[in-house]
Chains A and B, each alone.
Chain A
Amino acid sequence: MDVNKNSYTFGFAAIMVIIVAALLSTAAIELKPFQDRNVELEKKQNILSSVGVAIDRDGAEEIYGTYIKSELVLNNKGEEVEGSAFDVDLGKEVKKEADAQLLPLFISEVDGKKRYIIPLRGKGLWGPIWGFISLEDDLNSVFGAVFDHKSETPGLGAEINRASFQDPFKGKTIFEGEEFTSIKVIKGGAQQGDMHAVDGISGGTITSDGVSDMLEERLGMYLPYFNTLKPAIEVDSLFNPLDSIVSVNDSIIN
């Protein structure tokens, strides 16, 4: 048979395309449940690891319920809305207008301490980056942060999923007084003692900047909700300082 005839060439191409399409779609459909399961477990694992619970992926399912006490869906006015926080796809939400976005929030209780876990989603150099940041119940200090990425350069931007990049976030604060500062990732290294900055990654500047932008944008969306919680917290924590102010005043008067 002449393999260089036009009709043969067309026929060959057509059959090849059909076979390949069948192979690929079968593989995609058959393997989808397994892949989704991995993604779901990994999300649970990441949420847990942002509040300092280290667990392998298979164990995440079991203990997730023990530590994560409630899941809320908020709008950008700080009001609770209907829905399942775990199923909110942040990748789709960030593309919407700010006032149409659904904001998931997870509240954990580990060793009797309440912590707020905020999912993050932003842009790296080559593709999306995401993560979870957990705040202490003062809604200011960071307890922990985890980041991951789809396709950042190995050894450079991809380092954001390493402990060496994530650990410095611990103990940083997102407010300076009343003002929201977020946490910046600084090229060339953050100044010592700066409570709102961590070291960037050499050679991974665009990814580092992506992390800064992501933190500022995502945390910023939750400010209205924080404000609804703040009065309750401030009354607690201001109680003692007020006493001392009163005594100072007394001494001035005297």
Chain B
Amino acid sequence: MSKSNLLSKRTKQLLSDPLNDNNPITVQVLGICSALAITVQLKPAIVMALSVMVVLSVANVIISLMRKVIPSRIRIIVQLVVVATLVIIVDQVLRAFVYDVSKELSVFVGLIITNCIIMGRLEAFGMANDPWDSFLDGLGNSFGYAWILIAVAFFRELLGSGTLFGYPVLESLGVYKLGYENNGMMILPPMALITVGVIIWIQRVKNIKLVESK
């Protein structure tokens, strides 16, 4: 692979499109379940984003390598098996050698397998493109997923618990003295949906071509 290829327009597009114009959460509305479930605090949101990044990029490469030999009638099953196997192996290795991280991941392991973004990318991209592009596509989409997750978690933890990464930010800023109280609604799932909604709203105000014509 030549160097110019590494920075070609297509490469850049693969990485940058999912951040905004083709964001998996705000535009394709995939992976919403995990965006609601684990954005109460920043730390688990980041752990989840990293795990999805690893699984999505590697699975996309594997599927891309196998794309010419996969029988089309069972392709979805094959994709699912690849994702599930990867996730379980990663989980087992973490549990043996980095026990604390694996405890942090606990419920996410199941959530990673069911994350629609992963299956969506494997089916839409990995099945039709070469491994390097698939890897970039996996990275790009997981960055797109990650920034939304982290943004939502930032507001939910800050307004709901008054902390960031467990550090009591609002207390040290003296916001409570001004009469603010932690908003219990923020830590419940409905507010995650509303926060995602607000992000979609702001995104479409800035990026007018995303607005569907009537």
Contacts and interface: CB of A to CB of B under 8 A. Distances in A.
A associates with B = yes
A13 interface: yes
A8 B78 CA distance: 14
B142 to A, nearest CB: 19
Main secondary structure of the interface of A (DSSP, over half): helix
B128 interface: no
B40 interface: yes
B107 A38 contact: no
Given A3-B69, A16-B81, A153 B92 contact: no
Contacts of A154: 38, 40-41, 44, 106-107
Q: Is the interface of B mostly helix, strand, loop or mixed?
A: helix
Given A20-B81, A24-B88, A156-B187, A3 B99 contact: no
B214 interface: no
Of B95, B97, B106, B157, most buried by chain A (CB within 10 Å of CB) is: B106
B70 interface: yes
Contacts, number: 76
Nearest to A19: B85
Contacts of B93: 27, 31
A126 B157 CA distance: 22
B1 interface: no
B206 interface: no
B73 interface: yes
A43 interface: no
Nearest to A154: B44
Contact of A13 (B74, B157, B188): B74
A8 B71 contact: yes
Contacts of A20: 81, 85
B211 interface: no
Contacts of B210: none
B202 interface: no
A199 B194 CA distance: 29
A16 B74 CA distance: 11
Interface string B99-113: 100000011000000
Nearest to A158: B106
A153 B107 CA distance: 8
A150 interface: yes
A228 interface: no
A155 B158 CA distance: 13
A74 B77 CA distance: 50
A214 to B, nearest CB: 19
A70 interface: no
Given A38-B95, A38-B99, A202-B184, A23 B70 contact: no
A34 interface: yes
B71 A12 contact: yes
Nearest to B100: A57
A199 to B, nearest CB: 13
B33 to A, nearest CB: 13
Interface string A152-165: 01111010000000
Interface string B144-176: 000000000000010001000000000000000
A12 to B, nearest CB: 5
A156 to B, nearest CB: 7
Contact of B99 (A12, A16, A17, A57): A57
B72 interface: yes
Interface string A211-246: 000000000000000000000000000000000000
A24 B89 contact: yes
Contacts of B88: 24, 27
Nearest to B78: A16
A203 interface: yes
Interface string A48-71: 000000000100000000000000
A3 B72 contact: yes
A177 B69 CA distance: 74
Contacts of B157: 155
21 contacts: A3-B71, A8-B71, A9-B71, A9-B74, A12-B69, A12-B70, A12-B74, A12-B78, A23-B85, A24-B85, A27-B89, A27-B93, A28-B92, A31-B95, A151-B107, A154-B40, A155-B41, A156-B40, A202-B187, A203-B187, A203-B188
Interface of B: 37-38, 40-41, 44, 68-74, 77-78, 81, 85, 88-89, 92-93, 95-97, 99, 106-107, 157, 161, 184, 187-188
